Chain A
Amino acid sequence: MASLTTGGDSEHLGIPKAVFVDDVDSFMQQPENDSPDTVIRRLDDLGSKYRFMEMNLLQKKKRLRGKLPDIQICLDMIAQLRKYRDNDTDMKTNFLLSHNLYGKAIMPPTDKVCLWLGANVMLEYTLDEADELLRGNQSAAQKTLQKVVEDLDFLRDQITTTEVNMARLHNWTVKQKQQHNRK
């Protein structure tokens, strides 16, 4: 594969960079590119590998994007709790018991809220602390998402380069055959 990619890019998860073929003639002169068919197959292989990576990254992106609204809802709710605390009023709610089934509750003003930390652990925080923690999570998730988006951009470049290489190699082969037939 040495001729199709250059070493992994440490900035982008070590994704190998697709080589741009400047001149197909001299590219095909390279010793490891014996016949057009095998080279096209290798490019195709490379393309599927890129696509596999793209799929993984897209999934990761989807997960992160799903997480962000959840965090936002928690933050909104904390803002509400804070409002009730500051006004010193009871909070009347219908809370979700199960899908489409709501219970009624009246909550006295509170300064405490419990956050589900995962791994079967829930911890009590004051509203301010919970807000701070959630905002931290939010910006971390945004940062990771940003990174994933950049990696995806990079990956897409490699896919496009590989596709163009394939198309050009294909055309080159056709041209070669035409010339051959003419002789």
Chain B
Amino acid sequence: MSTTKDVEVHVEYADQQNINKFARHNAKLTELKEEIETKRKELVSLSDAREALDELSILSDVPTAPLLVGETFLIEPTESILGSLDVRKNKIEKEIDDVQQRMQAIQSVLSDLKVKLYGKFGKSINLENDEE
């Protein structure tokens, strides 16, 4: 983030606090974006696993399938695997919701600060992320 002081505008302590707050929340937002991305991937792979299992039970009459827990496969009856998958799915969906809520809260803080800081410093401050 680059900040250039307008010659006319005096940076007060409160402004510095706001700038700090902005930088802090901005960094947190980037972090949460990454977090939600990995969680979404996990959700997709869980849904895939469910589908594959459904297909498997239609195509052939297999009573059990191996389920990966950590580094070990457990040979389990398909119904119980479906149960475990659903438990995992619900958990991760809840986590995604949670992260999304946190992101929204941060975003509103950020836009609030943007209004304040741009209002005071105008073009002499840049609060945009480079990649966006």
Contacts and interface: CB of A to CB of B under 8 A. Distances in A.
Interface of A: 20, 22-23, 73-74, 76-77, 80, 91-96, 102, 153, 156-157, 159-161, 163-164, 167-168, 171, 175
Contacts of A95: 71-73
A76 B88 CA distance: 11
Interface residues of B, number: 25
In terms of DSSP, what is the predominant structure of the interface of chain B?
mixed
A138 B74 CA distance: 24
Contacts of A164: 3, 11, 16, 19
B27 A167 contact: no
In terms of DSSP, what is the predominant structure of the interface of chain A?
helix
In the A-B complex, the 3 residue pairs with the closest CB atoms: A73-B70, A92-B75, A94-B73
A86 B5 CA distance: 68
B16 A161 contact: yes
B122 interface: no
Contacts of A20: 13, 16
Contacts of B13: 20, 22
